[in-house]
Amino acid sequence: MYKSTIILLAAALGLSSCAWDASYNSVAANKIGVPQQVLPATVVSAYEVQGETSSTAKAVGTGIGAALGAGAGQLLGGGKGRLASTLGFGAAGALAGRYLTDSMGNTRCQRVTVKIDGKNGASYSFVQPVYKEYGLLSAGMQGYYHHGSDAHFVPLGY
């Protein structure tokens, strides 16, 4: 019982703490069918920023780490020392889970400013992940600005 619980919790911790590998070719379920206005644009500036791990992911990592640690403490402790072992390993697991989730869950992002080509020449600034398909954006790149709840820029050719 304890061994299967520990294996399942370890797998869940591994899945919840992986860094998001941003792909332009995938879309979150809550973004399907959401309309966006697509405008021809040119990148005015783009610089890299670090996307932080969400507080939910941190809490999940901490909880899973605590459960794994407590499970290990149950297996390793014996007699009157079992409670101390469970509590000690649980606390160590919580710290380890928080650290792993926080250090592995960050996403590379860019703060991008684009100028809309044509009519009004409006400018927009937004943060988007560094997509693996085309990497870092740079000033002067031309492409399309997707204006909406998931604002992002896609260079020509993608």
Give me the domain span that covers residue 126: 2-19+36-155
Q: What is the pLDDT of residue 47?
A: 92
State how far the Cα of 64 lies from the Cα of 69, in Å rounded to an integer: 8
The answer as to whether 44 is a domain residue is yes
The answer as to whether 28 is a domain residue is no
Higher pLDDT, residue 5 or 59: 59
The answer as to whether 29 is a domain residue is no
CB of 93 closer than 8 Å to CB of 68: yes
pTM of the model: 0.54
Number of structural domains in the chain? 1
pLDDT digits (tens, 9 = 90+) for 7-65: 444 444 444 333 345 676 777 777 777 778 899 999 999 998 865 566 676 677 788 88
pLDDT digits (tens, 9 = 90+) for 98-135: 777 666 656 788 999 999 998 777 999 999 988 889 89
User: Is residue 23 classed as helix, strand or coil in its secondary structure?
Assistant: coil
pLDDT digits (tens, 9 = 90+) for 79-101: 778 888 888 888 888 888 777 76
CA angle 22, 24, 29 (to 5 degrees): 85
CA angle 11, 15, 19 (to 5 degrees): 145
Q: Is it the case that residue 72 has pLDDT exceeding 60?
A: yes
Rg, Å, the chain Cα set? 22
Q: What is the DSSP letter of 29?
A: G
Q: What is the pLDDT of residue 99?
A: 73
The answer as to whether 26 is a domain residue is no
CB of 21 closer than 8 Å to CB of 132: yes
Backbone angles phi, psi at 110, to 5 degrees: -130, 140
Backbone angles phi, psi at 130, to 5 degrees: -80, 105
The answer as to whether 93 is a domain residue is yes
The answer as to whether 78 is a domain residue is yes
